[in-house]
Structures are given as structure tokens and as C-alpha cells.
Structure 1
Amino acid sequence: MIQAAIFDLDGTLVDSLPGIAASLNRALATRGHAGHDLDAVRSFIGNGSWMLCRRGVPASFPDSEADAVNRAFMDDYDRTWLRGTELFPGITELLAQLKAHHMPLAVLSNKPHPFTADIVDSLFTAGTFDVVLGHREGTQPKPDPSGALEIANIFDLPSTGITFIGDSLVDLETATNARMQPILVSWGYRPIEELRATGAPLLHATHEILNHLIC
């Protein structure tokens, strides 16, 4: 029986690709690098901002260059993210129905925690989520299970009674590592064929999530 749900943020609840791509390309330009189109940036997303920038920087450059681009990205994204981020269709209604069924809800993202909290505060009604965690300094990002297990501890629930909903293999690995029940969604940033090949439940609309969780 599913007793609670944890959602990934980017590619699952919100379409943040345009804002991320714009900030990344401006950050790259400040260092003299060429930018990337939306399809390329889509493939960079999922492992946090530093890895996003590492993938955006030419491979011949050292990690110190990714550090510099990441600092520029963080500064730009802090000022501009709202212009390029919106909810996926049906998300508001899905969350309202889950709350009506008194299901504890959380967000766990590899996006830096301040951005994660700002996006949730700005785009969702207060109280929608019981716990919101982004990547925090000194913690391991997904697919390390520590963040998911921290949420399970806050909920005072066994991890096996919690579903983890995301759009990527990182989210699937997080669910597996935390011994949670995975759900993958097809409207995010990874190819459907890649997600289907995992054998995990793959859902294509928000009403399917509701039907899966509320039996």
C-alpha cells in the first residue's frame, strides 16, 4: 500500500528547461564558450547544477572551468528562473486530489536547495508539500538514497510504503536504492524508449498517477 509520495521537480512537476538552458548559455558565453540548443541541455539535466555545467563546457577544459561556469550559472539563474519555469499540465489538480486523500507529499531534487524552495514557494499553494529538499552542501545528490530516506524518517513511514515519482534513470535508481516504489513519467526530459526499457511503471498523464496511487 502506498502511503506517501515523493516527487522529483525538474521534468516531473515543472518544465524548467527553457530557463535552465537560457541561464546555462549566458553563463557559457561569459567564459567564451558556445551555447547549446534545448535538446542538448535536456540531456544535461538530472545530476545537479555542477554536472549540468560540466556537460555544457567542452570536454577538453578542466573541472575548474566547470566551477567557473557553475558560479555564473547560479548567479544568472537566481535572477531569471521564473521567466522560464512553468507547471506541467494537470499537476495542480493531481496534487490537490492527493492532498484531499491526506497523502503526505514531498519534493526531492538535485537542484540546489534555495532554487528548489523558491520554485515550490512560487508555483505551488502553501502547504501542498510537507517536505521540500533540494541538494544541500554536505549531502549526497540523487541517486544516493539519503535524501529520500530523510523524508521517509520525517514522515515516520517505512520506505517500502512510499512511491518516488520522477522522469529519469536517476530517479529510478534513487527509488531502488531507498527501497521505494518507483514511478516514471513520460513527459520529462529523458527518451521514452530509455524509460520503457527499465521495466518500471511508466505513466503518460497525471490522472494515471492518481489512479496508480489511490486504489
Structure 2
Amino acid sequence: MKKLAIFDFDGTLFNSIDDVVICFNRALTDYSLPTLTRDEYIPCLGGNIDEIVSLVLGENSTPENIESVKETYLDYYHSSKKENTLPFPDSKKTLEKLQDKGILLAINSNRLDYSLEYFIGKFFSDIDFVDIEGHSYPHPSKPDPYGVNKIIEKAGVGLDDAVYIGDSSTDIKTAQNSGIDCLMVKWGYGNQDDYENEYPVSILSDFSEILEYFK
């Protein structure tokens, strides 16, 4: 049985896209740039904030626009109530059951560190994560294995003892680059190509299936 479960955040533990859409569209409107629909945002997600902004901007992606929209978006996001960003149903219960089994828990995300700390403190304060790795410059972001390597080192386990649980192609590549197994979930922001990827050891439709993997 695996000893360490490393979770992605957005689309895996938390349903977070609606607040992202609201704040991004406010920022884009400020600069008279085209806004996007929820469905149009989904393929833009997964990378670090600069990569996401570049994809959101599309043909308007220039270094100047990326920096301006990014800073405005982050200001809006930081000051917003983020009322729509909530854990997926059964996510906390699943983490609690894994914790009771003695499974080490961690998070690896391209979300900025302070944002992760805010949501984990608000919703998962009683979960004892061995490590939480967001993206902080100048360190590389996912799918680089930097964050996973730090988690594994801190947990003191081998690569064969760890599994990465995520919802997108970025998570699959992160697991692959780290040399650990991957579980792919279908309740997040992935697509059919992700679910048909040969690397994940299993494609999950419900949180309860994560617990089955750790039996």
C-alpha cells in the first residue's frame, strides 16, 4: 500500500473556477480586453499564473498585457470574498479517512502559496498535511517535479510509496516527471484526452474510489 498521497488543489480537492472567472473577467474588462466564458477558461488552467494569463489573453498576449492583467487579477482575487471556492463534496471526509489509516497527505499546486494557506486554513485546518507546496518564484512550477521532490524528501518515503492525485494533463505530466504513480479524477477540469492517457494507474469518478486504492 502507498504511504503518501499528494493531491492537486484546483479541480481535485476544491471547485474553484467560478471565482477565477469572475475576477479574471473584471481584470480583462478594465483593459478593454475580451472576456471569456467558464468553458473557455478551463483549457487555460493548470499552469502557473503567468502561463494562465497568457492563455487567457490569446492573441493579445504580450509581456506588458500579461503583467498588467496578472497584477489586476491578483488584486481582485485577493480582495474578493471567494464565496464560490469550496471543497468538493466528500473531499474532507476522504482526507480524514486516509489520515486515520496512517497515510501521509500533501498538496502540490501551481496556485500561489498564500492562496493555498488561506483555503487550507479555512476548510482543512484539522488535516495534518506533511507538506503543502504551491508555486513561488523563482522555483519552477508543475509539471516540473520540484514540488513533488520537496514533498517526498520531507515525507521521508521512496518514489514507489507515493501517488499523485489530480484532474488534468499537468498533473499527469507532474507525476510522470517525478517518477511516481498517478490517479486521475473526473470531477475536475480535465478532458477526454486526459482520461484516455495511458500513464494514470486508474481513472476515478468518485472520492470513495480513492479510499479503495489505499486498501
Query: So what's the TM-score if we normalise by structure 1?
Result: 0.95
Counterpart of 1:203 in structure 2 is: 204
Q: 1:207 to 1:188 in 2, by over 3 A?
A: same
The corresponding residue for 1:194 is: 193
Deviation of 1:137 after TM superposition, in Å, equals 1.3
Where do 5+ consecutive residues of structure 2 fail to align? none
Q: How does 1:108-119 map to 2 (within 5 A)?
A: 108-119=108-119
Distance 1:147 1:99 in 2: 21
Q: Give 1:65's aligned residue.
A: 65
Distance 1:169 1:81 in 2: 29
- Which 4+ stretches in 1 moved above 2 angstroms? 125-128
Match status 1:82 vs 2:82: yes
When structure 1 is superposed on structure 2, of 96-105 and 43-52 the one drifting more is: 43-52
Gaps in structure 1 of 5+ consecutive residues: none
Aligned residues: 213
For residue 196 of structure 2, what is the amino acid of its counterpart? Answer: A
1:64 aligned counterpart, secondary structure: helix
CA distance in 2, matches of 1:65, 1:28: 10
The 1:81/1:10 distance shift into structure 2, 3 A limit, reads farther
Structure 2 CA distance for aligned equivalents of residues 81 and 132 of structure 1: 23
Cross-structure match for 1:53: 53
Tell me the SS of whatever aligns to 2:59. Answer: coil
Q: Given that residues 130 and 154 in structure 2 are in contact (C-alpha distance below 8 angstroms), is that contact kept between their aligned partners in structure 1?
A: no
1:151-195 C-alpha deviation (Å, 9 max, x unpaired): 00000111221000000111011111111110000011111x212
CA separation in 1, counterparts of 2:149 and 2:53?
A: 28
Contact 2:14/2:87 (<8 A) preserved: yes
Structure 1 segment 33-182 matched on structure 2, within 5 A: 33-80=33-80, 82-182=82-182
Contact 1:149/1:159, CA 8 A, preserved across alignment: no
Distance in 2, matches of 1:61 and 1:48, equals 15
Identity of aligned residues (%): 25
- The CA deviation at 1:146 is 1.0
1:106-141 Cα offsets, whole Å, 9 max, x none, are 011001111111111112133332211110111100
* Partner Cα separation in structure 2 for residue 162 and residue 53 of structure 1: 31
Which residue type is aligned with residue 39 of structure 1?
D
Output the CA distance in 2 between the equivalents of 1:68 and 1:126: 37
Secondary structure of the equivalent of 1:105?
strand
Q: Is the 8 A contact 1:7 1:106 kept in 2?
A: yes
Match for residue 23 of structure 1? 23
